[in-house]
Each structure stands twice: as structure tokens, then as C-alpha cells.
Amino acid sequence: MVYRYEIFHYDQVSLPRNQFNYVTNSYPEGAYVTIDSTYFDENGHLVSQTINRKLTSRKDFYSTKMVNIYPDTLTWTRDIRFSYNDPKMKMYFSDPNYSDYPVVGVSWEQAQAFCHWRTKMYNENHKIKTEPYRLPTEAEWEFAAKGRDKDAIYPWKGSKLVDERKNCYLANFKQARGNYVSDAAVTTKPVKSYNVVANANGLYDMAGNVAEWTSTAYFGTSNMATADINPTFEYNAKADDPVHMKRKVVKGGSWKDIPYYLQSGARTYEYQNVSKPYIGFRCVRSYKGDIK
């Protein structure tokens, strides 16, 4: 199950060496783009290799991306060894009893491919084309989680993890060392099992259950380099980039995380080609016009 699609590399367009000359109606001599080329080798294995391509026309900014999109069903046993997770490994992605559970076992690259596919499916079935589906930036995700309250610690009001009136937990997380079950869950739970009242943005499970991929690249000093208006820091890592260049911001915390990571402002990371049983994603689209 390999999904094939094209990517336009805006980061290569903006490089000084690739600036189009409108006087000569051409690109500079020696201009080139650095892109990933994906192909099947003689053994049928999917290979991604970074190449330099001479820039002669706008189409050279495109590259073909091929991604194996089948979820990693073994993530339940690979990431959590010496624990009986065989039922989830065998049934989580196919049994209807798990239909309302959050998706896991997908890498950042697979989530990107899904966003492209979802956009394609929408546009093929609607007369009016949509803004592309994509992963949210870290800033967008945090705004959505806080429910328009910039001082909110969690997606709900207050600073507690327990609803004292109902005597129940507000999210699915790890309560203490070796304690996963006080909130009535060992691993994932169906969507909307906790905090059944949505936040001010109408969203559920923005904290706990599974953490979520964002489009933002993770660098320790990125906050100092981003703009004040709708900040984001994105980097399209190439196949031959060092591994630390392939880190993406993960938000929200999960069933496996301690309370700190459930805070809307907390951040951690994972590598873009790695899948985990506690990381999923949700899609967003850009709003056309001013937000009312």
C-alpha cells in the first residue's frame, strides 16, 4: 500500500541562487534544487535518495513522494515489550470494536500523505475546491487546545486533572509510577471518553489519550527565530539529513505520559519516520478571510 504524490518545494524557490530573472526570462546559470527522489530498487524496496537537479523551469521544483501508508501494527509490541499487547497488534486496525479509538502507529510522513489524499478525495467529489488538509502548526494546535483562553493550562478550565464534582479524571494519562488504570484505561480509549464537554473551540481529547503530530520542526531555539504573527518553524528534512533534523513537534500528551505533557504549552518531539502506539494526528484547513 504505497501512496504516490507530488510535492512543490517552496523552500527551494526562496533560495537566492534560484531567483527567477524576469529580464532574461530564465533561472541563473548554475541554479539547482535539492530534493528527495523516491523509487523502487531492483529488490522491490522503497528507496528515498537526496539528489541535486539542475533548475531550468518551474516544474523542477516538484518531486515525487512515495510513502508506505499501512499503519505499523507491530508498534504495540515493538514499543512496549514484555507486555501482553497481542490483541491490539492483531485487531486495532481492523476490528470494528476499535472504530472509535484514535489512530496510532502512523509516522509523521504517513500523516502528511493522508492529508494529501484527503484533499484529493474532497476535490474530486465537490465542485468548489477546498484549502488543502494539513497538519496544524504548533501555534495553531496550542490555540485550538486552549479554547481561546491564552492563560489556560489545560484544554479545560482550572489547573486540576480531576473533576471533583463527578470524582473522575478529565483525561487519559499515566497517573503515577506503574499506575495506568486509575482513569479506567490501560492504553487508548474511545474518543470523547473523557471531558465529555468540548472546549470553547468544540474540540475533544486535546489532552491525553494519544499525543498528536504537528507540522512544526523541533529545534531547541526555534521559538527565538519565529515571527510574532502566526509563528511556525518548518523544515522539509531530506533523506540524507542528520537524524536530529528530522524531529517534529508532538503535542497533547498521551495515555503513556505524565501530567506535565498534558499541558497545552508543553512540547516534545519524535522523528518523522517513526511510529508509536501513543501518537496520532488530526487535520486542519486554513480559513479563507478573517476569523470572526
Report the CATH number at residue 139: 3.90.1580.10
Residue 292 pLDDT grade (very low, low, confident, very high; cuts 50, 70, 90): low
For residues 156 and 258, membership in a common domain is answered with yes
For residues 264 and 134, membership in a common domain is answered with yes
Alpha helices in the chain (DSSP H): 10-13, 75-78, 86-91, 108-124, 138-146, 222-225
pTM metric for this prediction:
0.91
Residue 199 pLDDT grade (very low, low, confident, very high; cuts 50, 70, 90): confident
Residue 291 pLDDT grade (very low, low, confident, very high; cuts 50, 70, 90): low
Q: Which among 13, 38, 68 is the end of a domain?
A: 68
The answer to whether residue 11 is domain-embedded is yes
Q: What is the DSSP letter of 21?
A: B
The answer to whether residue 275 is domain-embedded is yes
CA distance 172 to 178: 14
For residues 145 and 61, membership in a common domain is answered with no
Q: Which of 6-10, 102-106, 238-242 has the highest mean pLDDT?
A: 102-106
Mean pLDDT of the chain, nearest integer = 91
For residues 57 and 165, membership in a common domain is answered with no
Whether the per-residue pLDDT at 245 is higher than 70: the answer is: yes
In the block, cell 487519559 appears at 172
For residues 133 and 224, membership in a common domain is answered with yes
The answer to whether residue 194 is domain-embedded is yes
Range of the domain at 37: 2-68
In the block, cell 540524507 appears at 240
- CB neighbours of 97 closer than 8 A, spacing ≥ 6? 91
For residues 112 and 232, membership in a common domain is answered with yes
Q: Which among 52, 68, 84 is the end of a domain?
A: 68
For residues 102 and 84, membership in a common domain is answered with yes
Q: Which among 48, 68, 88 is the end of a domain?
A: 68
- CB neighbours of 126 closer than 8 A, spacing ≥ 6? none
Q: What is the DSSP letter of 266?
A: -
The answer to whether residue 288 is domain-embedded is no
Greatest alpha-carbon pair distance for the chain in Å reads 73
